Structure 1
Amino acid sequence: MIGILMFFAALGMLLFGFPVAFTFAAVSLLFGIIAGIVEIGFDDGFMSIFEGIEEGLSMFDFMPYRIMSIMQNTILMAVPMFIFMGIILQKTGLAEKLLESMGFLFGEIRGGVAISTVLVGSLLAASTGVVGASVVAMGVISLPVMMKYKYNVPLATGTICASGTLGQIIPPSIVLIILGDVFQVPVGDLFQAAIGPGLALIAAYILFILIISYFKKDMAPAIPKDESRGSKKKQVMVALMAIIPSLTLIIMVLGSIFAGVATPTESSAVGCIGAVFLAIAYRSFSFDMVKEAAFESVKITSMVFGILIGATAFSMVFTYTGGDELVEHFMMNLPGDEKFAFILFTMLAIFVLGFFIDFVEISYIIVPILVPIAMNLDINPVWFAILIAMNLQTSFLTPPFGFSLFYLKGVVPSSVRTIDIYKGVLPFIFIQVTVLVLLVFYPELFGISASS
């Protein structure tokens, strides 16, 4: 039970706002010592306690080797490079050009600006993968346009938040890279498998917007035709000129992986070079910009790797204390069909945990406990990883701690209330859960097999 108590102690500390990496490391050290004392017993009084402390600390002797294996992991090298690529693209003004051109292209139909926001969100997801940057960019540019033309505020804010989180599932996704490392499966396989669910989400968002704007015409009115922007043909050409650069970068990055020309790590380097060339093309390149992007990339990457090291210590103590065996026994004895009972329970658990903790902690703490059980049940690791990625994407939207909600709240006018953002994301959470359920029961619809 020590491992289970350790899990809830770490969760409690996270809810109180303690730093994630230090929380996992401190809880691991404390409960490692407790486990050592319990194993030695109290027969010799204080001497037993000292021996127990020594026994508990001895399990950390292998931590340097674990940290070294993390540092030598070539898969994780893609994380800082994809982050750098995303930040460079954010600073080029790519989002502004895409939103402006596509907003006017689709604006003449009801819900057109919201639809263009979804499409731009998907393009930004495939070219940058940085959720915060996408949500902020679209909140600053798209929301004022929607509010100007009397869009329903919850619909506008929900569309922006949902579109911004597409970077969690549409490759190249940092979540998929992390899960590829945890599951020890090729990241390229995860990228390919994620395309179907990602496109299904985009289609479902657009369908929802079209339906609600058709039945409630005042929620998403059309933008009046603007003759000053030229003919429709000219608007299409402007939109294409805005789309082609980002589309070229997507083909360079994902095409090189799918064609087998480059590994995800190598393609992330290609993406970085492509992003710099786009910055030059948009005349926004400067060495100061590169320096700022490098510093931001280092900060985000340090956070990820700090959590990974803390999580490594946590999982080591959890396994040592038999927590993994207890969880496996519980999971293998769930009522009903073993495989689907396990899937449904884990999806529900991750969904609930997503209300409170970040995707990185879930990926490195919860998922490693579940992987061996999934292997015993002959569950396809690629399918299971995509299910988890879809679920983690939903955690960005779920109130009260969804990160997309905070990102958007930071840039919206004071007239937009937090409750408006909460109301706006609820239909999109329902859509994501619906697609997730379809992926659980009908994986073949997305070209994925449930069995390994």
Structure 2
Amino acid sequence: MIGIAMFFTALCMLLFGFPVAFTFAAVSVFFGLIAGIVEIGFQAGIIPGLIEGVQEGISMFDFMPFRVFAIQQNTILMAIPMFIFMGIVLQKTGLAEKLLESMGFLFGEVRGGVAISTVLVGSLLAASTGVVGASVVAMGVISLPVMLKYKYNTELAAGTICASGTLGQIIPPSIVLIILGDVFQVPVGDLFAAAVWPGLSLVGAYILFILIIAFIKKDMAPAIPADPSRGNKKKQVINALIAIIPSLTLIIMVLGSIFAGVATPTESSAVGCIGAIGLALLYRSFSIQMVKEASLESVKITSMVFAILIGATAFSMVFSYTGGDELVEQFMTNLPGDTKWAFILFTMLAILVLGFFIDFVEISYIIVPILVPISEALGINPIWFAILIAMNLQTSFLTPPFGFSLFYLKGVAPPSVRTIQIYRGVLPFIIIQIIVLAILAIYPEIFGINPLL
């Protein structure tokens, strides 16, 4: 039971606001020492038994440097800093502003058109940048004032922006999919290919919801009057295409090279960085200072991810040493009913609940490694299971009280937009995500995924 106590101790410390990476590292050391003391016991006396137990606990970490060195040599994880750099460079080029402005005028005359434009731009930003915070902030700064100006329902506007910004979690190139590819030890390119249709289905479900709401309650998402200064419809379409084509070209360069087998995800991330610099030159926003700032931000985010990974590695090592993984496996394999479906249902519910409190990185590196061997024993296709987890983790960005998208939007929203309105606004989109997740779980063949090995 030491491993289970260890897990809940770490969770409680995270809820109190302790840094994630240091929490996992400190908890693993503390419980590693306890495990050593328990194993040795006090047969030789209290003091000698305590000393030997501490030595046994410390020896558990003898191979930790080799684990850290292996993490740093992992070629799959090399793609993370480069995709982050690509996203930050594109954020600084003003790509989101150009896309939102063009598509806003293109769809604005349709009831709910600005919200639909926000979803479409969110999907394009997801496929070209994958940085959730940047997407939510950009759309919050640009799209939210426009929707509020034209009397859009505040909750619908806030929910649309938060949900659209999180699409980068499931639409490739996604940092979550890269991490899960490493955890499951499956090709990241296969995960990217399998995630395309679920991601597009989520986009379609968002747009369908907005159209239905706009049709039923016309005052929630009114149409924007035509602006003669923007020229005729043909000119607006041409302007929208001019804004979209560069980002689509970058998406095709990055994902096309992976799907065609020309490059690995790590190699394509380098292509994406070059493409992002090219777009910065095209939009005349390139400067050495911009590259320096993007590089520093990339280092900060990447350091956070790898620090969590190192702490999580120590945590999972002690958790396995204390027999926590065996206890979880026994519990999972003895669930009532069909073992496979009971396992999937329980894990999806557990990850959904944990997403209310902790980030996707912690869940990916702490919870998922415990589940992988159980899923393999049950004959579950790791690609399908990883996509289910990725879509579930996307929900963690929206779920109150700690959903990061909610905080990002609140930080840039006008004072008139209250936090409770943002919370209420995301609820329909959380339900939509759960519905699409359920369809993906029950009918994976619709998305071209085989659920079994």
Is this a same-fold pair by TM over 0.5? yes
* RMSD, aligned α-carbons: 0.4
User: What corresponds to 1:57 in structure 2?
Assistant: 58
Q: Which amino acid aligns with 1:84?
A: F
User: What corresponds to 1:4 in structure 2?
Assistant: 4
> 1:17 aligned to 2:17?
yes
Distance 1:343 1:215 in 2: 36
> 1:365 aligned to 2:373?
no
TM-score, normalised to structure 1, is 1.00
User: What corresponds to 1:98 in structure 2?
Assistant: 99
User: What corresponds to 1:35 in structure 2?
Assistant: 35
The 5 A counterparts of 1:229-268 are: 229-268=230-269
Q: Which amino acid aligns with 2:26?
A: A
User: What corresponds to 2:113 in structure 1?
Assistant: 112
Q: Which amino acid aligns with 1:15?
A: L
Q: Which amino acid aligns with 1:8?
A: F
Distance 2:439 2:65 in 1: 43
Q: Which amino acid aligns with 2:204?
A: A
Distance 1:85 1:151 in 2: 33
The 5 A counterparts of 1:149-160 are: 149-160=150-161
Q: Which amino acid aligns with 1:154?
A: E
Distance 2:149 2:318 in 1: 55
User: What corresponds to 2:85 in structure 1?
Assistant: 84
Q: How many residues are aligned here?
A: 452
Q: Which amino acid aligns with 1:85?
A: M
Q: Percent identity?
A: 82
Where structure 1 has 5 or more consecutive residues not aligned to the other structure, the ranges are none
Q: CA deviation at 1:145?
A: 0.6
Distance 1:228 1:319 in 2: 66
User: What corresponds to 1:337 in structure 2?
Assistant: 338
Q: CA deviation at 1:7?
A: 0.4
Distance 1:381 1:98 in 2: 36
Deviations along 1:226-251, whole A, 9 cap, x unmatched? Answer: 11100100000000000000000000
SS in 2 for 1:70: helix
User: What corresponds to 2:125 in structure 1?
Assistant: 124
Deviations along 1:337-389, whole A, 9 cap, x unmatched? Answer: 01000000000000000000000000000000000000000000000000000
SS in 1 for 2:194: helix
TM-score, normalised to structure 2, is 1.00
Where structure 2 has 5 or more consecutive residues not aligned to the other structure, the ranges are none
User: What corresponds to 2:450 in structure 1?
Assistant: 449
Q: CA deviation at 1:395?
A: 0.6
The 5 A counterparts of 1:203-282 are: 203-282=204-283
Distance 1:276 1:201 in 2: 30
User: What corresponds to 2:75 in structure 1?
Assistant: 74
Distance 2:333 2:216 in 1: 47
Distance 1:423 1:307 in 2: 31
Distance 1:12 1:429 in 2: 25
Distance 2:192 2:356 in 1: 25
Q: CA deviation at 1:43?
A: 1.3
Q: CA deviation at 1:42?
A: 1.0
Distance 1:226 1:99 in 2: 16
User: What corresponds to 2:289 in structure 1?
Assistant: 288
Distance 2:165 2:221 in 1: 19
User: What corresponds to 2:135 in structure 1?
Assistant: 134
Distance 1:325 1:274 in 2: 47
Q: Which amino acid aligns with 2:15?
A: L
Distance 1:401 1:419 in 2: 13
Distance 1:318 1:216 in 2: 52
Q: CA deviation at 1:101?
A: 0.5
Distance 1:446 1:419 in 2: 35
Deviations along 1:33-69, whole A, 9 cap, x unmatched? Answer: 0000000011122101100000010010000100010
Q: Which amino acid aligns with 2:2?
A: I
Q: CA deviation at 1:261?
A: 0.2
